[in-house]
Amino acid sequence: MIAINDLTFAYSGQPPLFQDYCLHVNRGEALSIIGPSGCGKTTLLYLLAGLRHPQSGKIIIGDKPISRPRPRSGLVLQDHGLLPWQTVRENARLGLTIWGFYGSDGRHAPADEKLVPNQADQRVDDWLKKLGIEDLKNQYPLQLSRGQRQRTAIARTLAMKPDLLLMDEPFSALDAPTREDLQNFIVRLHAESDLTYIIVTHDIEVAVVMGKKILVLKKGCNQEAQIMDNACAGSTDSRMQAEFQLKCEDLRKLLGSMT
């Protein structure tokens, strides 16, 4: 699904965050990326989203190297992703509206599917229902809680039928019950489809719940992918088990040893 080959990236005037970095992610994989702030985890996600461009090396998603946002990749950020002047429903439909704006040109929008306006509306309403925010569809983001806003952002992304879901700290600003609910939602969705997802987090428990593999980044220059396998990923219910706690302990130690 994803092949990163010899990636080098630095912000201008700063030492490189990645140098000759290689990473492979299989289709249907669930990957967590964790590391201290400033380690480049968000940067790596933006590189995968096509919003930043490497100085050298290639990022191949599907079978094509990416140079701009890829139509079938979805991105969910921590906050500030919704248009404040549009209702929940209009926001959730925005991806499909932009798709309609360009047509199925394969550059801005998927080329392998024609978009019919009625179907688009239906698709958006389905996701609003699945995410439990159907009743809020005529409200504006300013009237919503953070959790409801994040549900809207997720609905907007899923309405595009992504095969790759990229998430940057999507649950960090949420209260615990909402966070667990949405984590389980994504995990369930992943189990039911062949969706590949990558979640960036600074939270050890989130990383262990969400990632069948956990990629650990360090502050400074990352040259080799440090990946930890994790059999404990899945539902948030497993958190109380000893095995889960041990895994968290392992990850904590690994993070500590790298700084």
Partner 1 sequence: MRRRLNIRAALIGLLMFFAIWQLLAWIIHRPIMPSPLQVLPIFGASLFGDLGIHFLASTGRVLAAIGLAVVAAVPIGLGLGQVPKVNRIFAPLIAIVYPIPKIVFLPVIYVLMGITDISKIFLIAIIIFFQILVVVRDEAANLHPELILSVRSLGAGRRALFRYVYFPASLPAVLTALRVSVGTAIAVLFIAEQSLTTYGLGYYIVVETYQVLRYPEMYAGILAMSLLGLVLYFMIYNMELKVNRYRGEEQN
> Site residues (CB under 8 A) for partner 1?
46, 49-51, 69, 71, 73-87, 94-95, 97-99, 101-102, 108-109, 140, 142-145, 153, 156-157, 160, 166
Please, which residue, 139 or 184, has the CB nearer to partner 1? 139
The Cα 258–Cα 247 span in angstroms is: 17
CB 182 within 8 A of CB 174: yes
The Cα 100–Cα 68 span in angstroms is: 19
> Could you tell me the smallest distance in angstroms from the CB atom of residue 229 to partner 1?
29
The Cα 190–Cα 90 span in angstroms is: 26
Please, which residue, 11 or 85, has the CB nearer to partner 1? 85
> Could you tell me the smallest distance in angstroms from the CB atom of residue 69 to partner 1?
5
Alpha-helical runs (H) found in the chain: 41-49, 88-102, 117-130, 146-158, 176-192, 204-210, 242-258
> Could you tell me the smallest distance in angstroms from the CB atom of residue 16 to partner 1?
22
Please, which residue, 6 or 105, has the CB nearer to partner 1? 105
Please, which residue, 12 or 257, has the CB nearer to partner 1? 12
CB 114 within 8 A of CB 104: yes
Neighbours of 249 (CB within 10 A): 11
> Could you tell me the smallest distance in angstroms from the CB atom of residue 143 to partner 1?
5
> Could you tell me the smallest distance in angstroms from the CB atom of residue 250 to partner 1?
32
CB 251 within 8 A of CB 204: yes
Please, which residue, 34 or 82, has the CB nearer to partner 1? 82
Pairing of strands 164-168, 196-201: parallel
Q: Which runs of E-coded beta strand occur in 93-208?
A: 164-168, 196-201
Please, which residue, 16 or 71, has the CB nearer to partner 1? 71
Tell me which residue has tokens 């299989």. Answer: 26
> Could you tell me the smallest distance in angstroms from the CB atom of residue 170 to partner 1?
11
Please, which residue, 13 or 256, has the CB nearer to partner 1? 13
> Could you tell me the smallest distance in angstroms from the CB atom of residue 90 to partner 1?
10
Which of 75, 76, 79 has the alpha carbon at shortest distance from 149?
79
Burial class (CB in 10 A: 0-12, 13-18, 19+), 62: middle
Neighbours of 1 (CB within 10 A): 16
